[in-house]
Amino acid sequence: MIEPLVELMVAWTNYSRQVAQPSVEEFCRYTIESGYSKIKLSTIEIQGKLIRAIGRIASAYGLYHKAAMTEMGLPGHESFYYLNGLNTIGDGKKMDLINYLMAETTTGMDAIQKLIRAGLISERTDAEDRRAKYIRLTAKGKRKLADCYALSAKVNEMIFHGIPDQVISMCAKLLSAIEEEHSKKAVALKGRDFKEMYGEVTSAI
């Protein structure tokens, strides 16, 4: 009987390291729903399964969301992300928004200019540094974003239809550390070649 107890303790230890506030209830649910398997996968296989799942979900979400945003009459299907990003980080420079969205500079500048021309974002020159320009949402932009949020909620409903809130919450907690880590690193490493990116990330972990 000792071996199963040790196995349970190891499973709990691994689980508790991945979530900010581990609970016995969520641990039990996680263990049951993950379906413990005697077949041991390699690290590469496990990582591949997770990335594939995230990628497929993101692709499906992108397809639904693009269709939804087309109905909003935005200057581009990516416009929502720029409006939402600016709303999240607040007034700032164009590159602040581009870096937050991890977008390419040229692509980001073009998307922002479309929103400025549409009157959804305004631009002003800094009084102290005439070369620096700051952007912010206009009243029209805020109204449009509110309408976008209402439609985006329906896209979320499509993606998570039939999935219990507890499962969604657990997934969010498990992935939050990865999101936070690479939200910072990806911006800092943008523009470098892959070999340099790989060395920088793996040597720091």
Q: Is residue 202 part of a domain?
A: no
* Contact predicate 34/49, CB 8 Å: no
Domain total of the chain: 1
Q: Is residue 93 part of a domain?
A: yes
Q: What percent of the chain has pLDDT over 70?
A: 87
In this predicted structure, the answer to whether residue 188 has a pLDDT above a threshold of 60 is yes
Q: Is residue 123 part of a domain?
A: yes
Pairwise CA distance, residues 97 & 187, whole Å: 11
Q: Is residue 20 part of a domain?
A: no
Determine the pLDDT at residue 9.
62
Domain membership of residue 132 as a residue range:
46-174
Pairwise CA distance, residues 179 & 92, whole Å: 23
**CB atoms inside a 10 Å sphere around CB 101:** 20
Instruction: Average the pLDDT over 170-196 and give the result.
Output: 88
Average pLDDT, the chain: 86
Instruction: Average the pLDDT over 113-126 and give the result.
Output: 94
Residue 15's Cα: distance from chain center in Å?
A: 22
Task: State the pTM of this model.
Answer: 0.70
Closest CA to 36 of 79, 61, 4: 4
Determine the pLDDT at residue 2.
40
Strands 133-137 and 121-125: antiparallel
Q: Is residue 183 part of a domain?
A: no
**Amino acid making up residue 130:** R
CATH, residue 104:
1.10.10.10
**Tokens encoding 172:** 């969010």
Pairwise CA distance, residues 85 & 108, whole Å: 12
Q: Is residue 21 part of a domain?
A: no
Q: Is residue 135 part of a domain?
A: yes
In this predicted structure, the answer to whether residue 72 has a pLDDT above a threshold of 70 is yes
Q: Is residue 119 part of a domain?
A: yes
